[in-house]
Amino acid sequence: MKHHLFISSLALAAAAGAASAQEACSTYEIQPGDSLRELTIQVYSTEDFRIVFDANRDVIGNNPNVIRVGDVLTFPCLEDVGRAPAAPQTEAEAMAAEMASEMVKAAEDRAAKAIAEANKASEDAVVAARAEAKKEIEAARAEAAALIRNADAGERPEIRDRQLLLITGGNYAPFTDEALPNRGLYTDLVETAMLRAAPEQSYKIQFVNDWSSHLDLLMPTLAFDGTFPWSRPNCEEPAALSEKDRSRCETYNFSNPFYEVVDTFFAREGSGYEETLTYADFAGATICRPEGWSLSHMDAVGLYEPAVSLMRPVSPDDCFHAVMDGTADIVAIEAHLAVETIGRLGYQHRIIENPNLAAIKSLNVMTHKDNPDGEAILETLNQGLAIMQQSGEWRDIVSTALRHQMENG
């Protein structure tokens, strides 16, 4: 069966001026104001616009930044692009997931109707209706999660009767920052997973903005039980990894991916690096990638010294300044962070993305292998993630957060 994907009615109602949701496994006529990145967010809950771009190159051409009003795009089905939700393992789980989805959908429909009625009354009525809708939908989601959780006959991991301590850092929009709604998209996903899988478990998430201290000091001393979000190198091929990535594989265990990001390359317009089709064309270039960021995807395609020169400053801003002043040729960085940084620094249309050489990188929770509760913590989070994917809650959290990021920068 081909899976379809909708943004929830609550997410749409909460987004000012949001257009009607688009659907995977369908076609769509481009409207004024559309962008490939935003359409991909609406349909697939990811900023990886290549999903739509690659399926429509014959319509769009070679530049994903230029789409024409009136052209018709094809949105691939979820399983065709590897984005189908986690499948239930038993018939009981499948029935529970279906009932859970219907339960939440019914609550969302009632909420949307109540908000529409309140719009006819007053602004205060709308505020009250939204607050009541939020409570009703949360109650439906909790009940739905319990249905799915109880349908799984497997044993639950035992976590000691204590408060778990998780650590993350800020300045990583839209994923983690104390100033973001729900302290960021990834923080929201982790907290919700814990709530759905183990609502009785006490935990605390602390922000320490010195990211390097997480792995160098705080996690090795077991001061914290888990840290997020970090990428998982290809630990199955240690010989191909850098020393730091190999150490990460040897020292930490990883959750299932809670989210994936597009790791790609940005270069100055007119340099040639922004449109090349092969990694071999980067030979001899100076590539800037912030310190502490994994090099595994670059190592895998031969982008290591001496084939290229590496620049590793602390701040992503320094990389973009280096490209502008000519001390670096290319920035290797996550697409969402690059878009925000380029806009903030005023480099729009001067530093642009190469759409041809991007890689998908997962973001995971990590626990130290010396932590006796580490594997149980990851198993709990994985169970919560599966519940969220089966009920549709993961999709709604991601869509709402990404839309907020697009509208607010």
Coarse DSSP helix, strand, coil percentages of the chain, rounded to the nearest 5 percent = 45, 15, 40
Q: Are strands 259-268 and 351-368 parallel, antiparallel or unpaired?
A: antiparallel
The span from the CA of 396 to the CA of 388, in Å, is 9
Percent of the chain exceeding pLDDT 70 equals: 92
Whether 38 contacts 46, CB under 8 Å: no
**pLDDT, average across residues 278-288:** 96
The span from the CA of 91 to the CA of 51, in Å, is 31
**CATH level 2 (architecture), domain 164-257+365-408:** 3-Layer(aba) Sandwich (3.40)
Which residue carries 């077991």 as its tokens? 222
At residue 88, the pLDDT reads 65
**pLDDT, average across residues 10-19:** 34
**CATH level 2 (architecture), domain 260-361:** 3-Layer(aba) Sandwich (3.40)
At residue 5, the pLDDT reads 40
Most confident of 40-49, 241-250, 358-367, 374-383: 374-383
The span from the CA of 114 to the CA of 118, in Å, is 6
Whether 370 contacts 219, CB under 8 Å: no
Whether 369 contacts 222, CB under 8 Å: no
Token representation of residue 407: 């509208």
| Assigned CATH for 9-81 | 3.10.350.10
At residue 245, the pLDDT reads 86
Same fold, 9-81 and 260-361: no
The span from the CA of 182 to the CA of 214, in Å, is 21
DSSP string, 344-389: HHT-TTTEEEEEEEEEEEEEEEEEETT-TTHHHHHHHHHHHHHHHH
**pLDDT, average across residues 339-353:** 91
- Domains of the chain, by residue range, sit at 9-81, 91-151, 164-257+365-408, 260-361
Band (pLDDT 50/70/90 cuts) for residue 86 is low
The span from the CA of 351 to the CA of 358, in Å, is 16
**pLDDT for 60-72, tens place per residue?**
987 777 899 999 9
